[in-house]
Amino acid sequence: MDDFAKYEKIYEQMDDSLKLPMINIEDMQLPYIEVNMTGGTLCDLSNKKRFTRVLYVCNEIGKHELYSIKETTTCEYEVIVLSSLLCLSPKFKLKKSIENNINCHVMDKNTNKVPKGFELGDIELEMKTQKSKVKQNIGDSFLESKTILINTFDNGKEVRINFIAETDDYDGSLLNSHSHIIAKFLRGEYCLTGGSGWWKYEFCYGKSVNQFHEEKGEKRMIINLGKWNLDSHIEWIQKDLSRKPKPGKTPKQVWHYYSSGDFCELTQRPRTVEVKLKCRYDPSNPDSVAIYLMEPRTCEYILGVESPIICDLISNVDEYGIFQFSNEE
pLDDT digit string, tens, across residues 186-239: 899 989 888 767 788 899 999 999 999 887 778 889 999 999 999 999 999 999
- Choice between 92 and 77, residue whose per-residue pLDDT is larger: 77
Same fold, 2-88 and 173-313: yes
Residue 4: which residues within 8 A CB-CB, separation 6 or more? 35
Spatial distance between the Cα atoms of 322 and 86, rounded to a whole number of angstroms:
48
What pLDDT does 235 receive?
95
Distances (CA, A) of 244 to 162, 278, 309, 320: 45, 14, 20, 6
Q: What is 2-88's CATH topology?
A: Cation-dependent Mannose-6-phosphate Receptor; Chain A (2.70.130)
Give pLDDT tens digits for 62-85. 777 787 888 888 888 889 888 888
Average pLDDT of the chain is 75
Q: pTM for the complete prediction?
A: 0.52
Name all contacts of 81-88 with Cβ < 8 Å and 24+ positions apart: 81/54, 81/55, 81/56, 81/57, 82/57, 83/56, 83/57, 83/58, 83/59, 84/58, 84/59, 84/60, 86/33, 86/56, 86/57, 86/58, 87/58, 87/59, 87/60
pLDDT digits over 230-281, tens only?
Answer: 999 999 999 998 888 888 888 888 999 999 999 999 899 999 999 999 987 7
DSSP 153: S
How do 263-264 and 290-297 pair as beta strands? unpaired
Write the class of the CATH domain 173-313: mainly beta
Write down the domain spans for the chain. 2-88, 116-162, 173-313
Beta strands in 38-73 (DSSP E): 51-58, 63-73
- How confident is the model over 148-153, as a mean pLDDT? 41
* pLDDT of 218: 81
Helix boundaries (H) for the chain: 2-12, 116-136, 173-177, 179-186, 230-239, 308-313
